[in-house]
Structures are given as C-alpha cells and as structure tokens.
Amino acid sequence: MKIHNIKYLLIAAFMLVFSACDPIVDEQQLTNSTDVAGVNLTASHSTPGGNKVTLKMDTPGVTGYWDYNLGKSLTNETTIVYPIPGKSTFTFIGTLGGEFFTKTIDVQIDQLDTRLDQDWYDLVSENTSAGKTWVFDGAAGTGAMFWFMSPPDNPDSAMSAWWNAGDCCPPLDVSGKMHFDLNGAANYNHYQTTAAAAEKGSFVLDPTNKKLIIQNSKILGYEAGNTANEYNIITLTEDKLVLYVPRSLKDPTTGWTFVFKPQ
C-alpha cells in the first residue's frame, strides 16, 4: 500500500512540474469597432458636378484604402481628378478591427472642368469620349524599328535593339490596331486586323509611375507582351507611343519594345 501511495505522489509531482512549465498565453481577440453599416463614406466635388473629387472615410477606428478604378490610394482620404464623366462607383477596402470589409459609394461626374494629366490627352485625344486609335509605326521589310527585342529589366535601354523582329518576322496582328477612349469607362479595343471585330477590354493609365495596363484584352504585338499585360511607358506624346516589357513572352531572357503612331 505504501508503495502505491509513493507512486501516486510521484505522478502528481511530475504533473505539477510539467504544468508549471506550460507558457502563459494571454489570448486577446480582435473585435470590431463598428459594423459595415456604420462606416461613413463621403464624396465632395471641388465644383458642382466637377471631376475633381475628394473621397473620404471618416469613421473612427476604421482604416483602409480607396480603389478608384484607375488606381489605388492607401489612405482614408484622397483627392483625385477623375477622367470619366457619368456615374462611377468607388470602393473603400478596410478593416473594422476584427474583420475586413468593402463598401462602395457612387459619384456622378457631369463635367471635366479640371484638366487631366497630359498623358491622358496624348493617349485618348482631347475628345476623351471619342478616343484615339494607334497602329504600329512601321511595316515589315522597310527597316523600321516598331517591334523589337531589347535588353531585359532596364527601361532606359528600351530603344537599344538586340533584334529588329518586326522587319523580318512581324507579329500576327501587324496590320491591326488598338483603340482607347473614356466613354463612360476606360475602354480598350484590340483589333487583330483593321477589319476584324474588336476584342473589348479596359485599361489603366498610371502617369505617375509611367505604366499602362491592359485588362481582359491584349496589346498590339501581344506575342511579345507579358502575362500581366503591364507595360512601361517610355514615350507618350500626341504622335508617338513607345511601350516596353522587362521580360518578354517571346523570349523570357530579354525585354521587348513596341512603337506606335496614331492612325
């Protein structure tokens, strides 16, 4: 009997020792400061119906960022010059404290009374609703450099041709075109040939970072594009557009350069 008692005492002692070694965890769960209905989004125009708009989320305890369709602003309040007339929906993505949420606000823009960055007019023309059509600046067999292999990962070397592919081996859509406009949205159309039906998509122009992104369609010369459909803007003027990809689908070890002119 004594042996059994000693055995139980030893087991109890071991249990106490091991339980004393367990870490003390202070479990704190994040909780919401409000609900989605309590998040207040506002939009104010610099002039009535104008296209300079301040978007604001002013609910305490909530943080996040704005997605205004053509870009993102990583703050609760941002002022944008929006290039598209009509009703647009902007989205705030944030956290209530314990969970993430999205909430939208509709904004009606009746007039483009604040001028856009010049890149917008160069890309889509001053008549932003009608838009603008671009084609390759050259033809095969002429020696023109309009679609060529260039050094990788270096936009500064975009015009240094490693192989003038367009002269001997032009892209499948060499006789095609692409059209940009802001008629109710940032509309983009790719045409395999000038007579082909449009492959409709959209685009994002980022003048600050010199980027052009094609969505749900493809760039003219797409064989040498990239999977993200994101292009560095090397030149954008009224009569010339030069785009560059650091790594091309044509050859992933090289870059590629595309040169366009208005139709």
pLDDT in tens, 151-206: 999 999 999 999 999 999 999 999 999 999 999 999 999 999 999 999 999 999 99
27: in domain: no
> Residue 198: inside a domain, yes or no?
yes
- Of the ranges 9-18, 125-134, 219-228, which one carries the lowest mean pLDDT score? 9-18
At residue 219 the predicted structure's pLDDT band, cuts being 50, 70 and 90, is: very high
Query: Is residue 102 located within the same domain as residue 148?
Result: no
Do both 181 and 133 map to the same domain? yes
Q: Which of 81, 109, 137 is the last residue of a domain?
A: 109
Quote the pLDDT of residue 108.
97
Gyration radius of the chain's alpha carbons: 28
Assess if residue 165 is contained within a domain: yes
Number of H helices, E strands in the chain: 3, 16
Looking at the fold, whether 166 and 250 belong to one and the same domain comes out as yes
Of the candidates 90, 109, 128, which is a domain's last residue?
Answer: 109
pTM for the full model? 0.82
Judgement on whether residues 91 and 124 belong to the same structural domain of the protein: no
> What distance lies between CA 120 and its chain's CA centroid?
16
The total number of structural domains that make up the chain: 2
Domain shared by 47 and 96, yes or no: yes
Question: In the listed set 109, 137, 158, which residue is the last one of a domain according to the structure?
Answer: 109
Sheet holding 86-95, edge to edge: 72-73, 63-67, 86-95, 100-109
Give the per-residue pLDDT at 218. Answer: 97
Domain membership of residue 100 (yes or no) is: yes
pLDDT for position 20: 46
Question: What range does the domain containing 196 cover?
Answer: 118-262
Distance, CA of 142 to CA of 153 (rounded, Å): 28
Give 107's pLDDT tier (boundaries 50, 70, 90).
Answer: very high
In a domain, 61, yes or no: yes
Among left, alpha and beta (phi > 0; psi -120 to 50; other), residue 227 is: alpha
Beta carbons of 140 and 166 less than 8 angstroms apart:
yes
CATH number of the domain enclosing 75: 2.60.40.10
8-12, 71-75, 200-204: lowest mean pLDDT where? 8-12
